[in-house]
Amino acid sequence: MQKDRTRTTQSRELKLALQCCASSFRQRSERSVEFQLEPAVDWCRFVELARFHRIEGFVWAALSASSLPKGAAAALAKAASSIATRNLRAANESRILLERFQAANVPLLFLKGLPLGALAYSNPMLKSAIDIDLLVDPMDLQVAAEVIRQSGYEQIAPAASLNDRKLHAWHRSWKESVWGKGDLQIDLHTRPADNPRLIPTVNVYSPRQCVGVSPGVELPTLAGEELFAYLAVHGASSAWFRLKWVSDFAGLLHGMSAEEITHLYRRSQELGAGRAAGQALLVAGELFGTLRHCSELADRLAGDNTIVSLGRTALRLLAGEPVEPTARRFGTLPIHRTQFQLLPGVSYKLTELSRQATRMLSRVN
């Protein structure tokens, strides 16, 4: 197997962060008794890295019993407490939203967020989330928007001054609109992928599962096969530059057999996830050993030069400085470049070119 083709140098701080994430989705019997903390760890940088990658909850759960510098311990403990508090509020808010959408007879799915946290981790309250992602039928957009408004949210993107007709026009170019209420945010999706050619049949009517996220709160989300394909495409849309996304994906697959993972990959190709699924598996395999027992699939992916290139780009971004892509050299160019490679063929590339140009023009205007 061509193991070295996606390898990227990892700092001590990133290696420790990876251990902390893995500890959050492994069973207690699999976890290390204690972390061997190297004296050379730069704790200021480590806290900064954990904050950027939004993994403070996992880090604090893993290291709270260790002897950390006081400043680092205080920062991580505070962040973890804030994440847990926010998740509890989001769980209650999600329950209310689900009831209101059901009362309005609007089909609804929750993407990522709390349901994914409950599926991927031993403690879903550890997973950081800045928004509540909802998926509805495009035909229900106007009713959904009204339900959200009546729940106290204000339209942020597009601008609230736009009427419902223009909101529909916005959703033809963007997969979601953004709504806010205090420190809570809703991303209202009418499709799961930026480019409609990716996972085109995954929608609010796809197979679903209900997941308990807190006592008395169960939320509907995508079933396993569709969820795998969606997470791969979602991560690929940003070239996996944030560790939290890779950890979620690896946590979901942790404990699955080679046959189960291979089946999910094959099904993702039928659903239209394209090379995003292979990229996701290579990145998760490099960072968390997800493909450890999947030698046949790993060899197949490692033999595809485009998928390997996508994986290498993602790993470089993830191992780079913990700053937003817009603050890095070349900015978001590597992300935009990889988005053109997710499906083969000129037709897809032209669609992607049109999509990216439309979004750039909408930002200018």
Mean pLDDT (whole number) for 227-253? 97
Which residue would you say has higher pLDDT here, 6 or 166? Answer: 166
- Binned at pLDDT 50, 70 and 90, residue 212 comes out as very high
Query: Residue 185's domain spans which residues?
Result: 3-364
What's the whole-number mean pLDDT along residues 133-148? 97
- What pLDDT shows up at residue 357? 87
pLDDT at residue 6 tops 60: no
How many beta carbons lie within 10 A of that of residue 205, not counting itself?
10
Mean pLDDT for the stretch of residues 291-301: 97
Confidence of residue 162 (pLDDT cuts 50, 70, 90): low
Cα–Cα separations (whole angstroms), residue 108 to 104, 203, 266: 11, 10, 27
- Give the CATH number, domain containing residue 25: 3.30.460.40
Q: Is pTM beyond 0.85 here?
A: yes
| C-alpha Rg value of the chain to the nearest Å | 20
What average pLDDT does the segment 202-223 reach? 96
Number of domains in the chain: 1
Q: Partners of 134 in the beta sheet?
A: 110, 188
Task: Note the pLDDT of residue 1.
Answer: 35
Q: Is the pLDDT of residue 324 over 60?
A: yes
Among the ranges given (14-28, 90-104, 290-304), the one the predictor scored with the smallest mean pLDDT: 14-28
Average confidence (pLDDT) over 36-54: 89
Exposure on the CB side of residue 341, measured as CA atoms within 13 A? 23
Residues of the chain with pLDDT > 70, as a percent, come to 92
> Cα 287 to the chain's mean position, in Å?
16
Instruction: Supply the DSSP string of 96-163, one letter for each residue.
Output: HHHHHHHHTT---EEESHHHHHHHH-S-GGGS--SSEEEE--GGGHHHHHHHHHHTT-EEEETTTTS-
* Cα–Cα distance for residue pair 206/263, rounded to 1 Å: 18
Residue 195's pLDDT is 95
Q: What is the structure's pLDDT at 165?
A: 80
Average pLDDT of the chain, as a whole number: 91
DSSP state of 292: T
Per-residue pLDDT band for 27 (boundaries 50, 70, 90) equals low
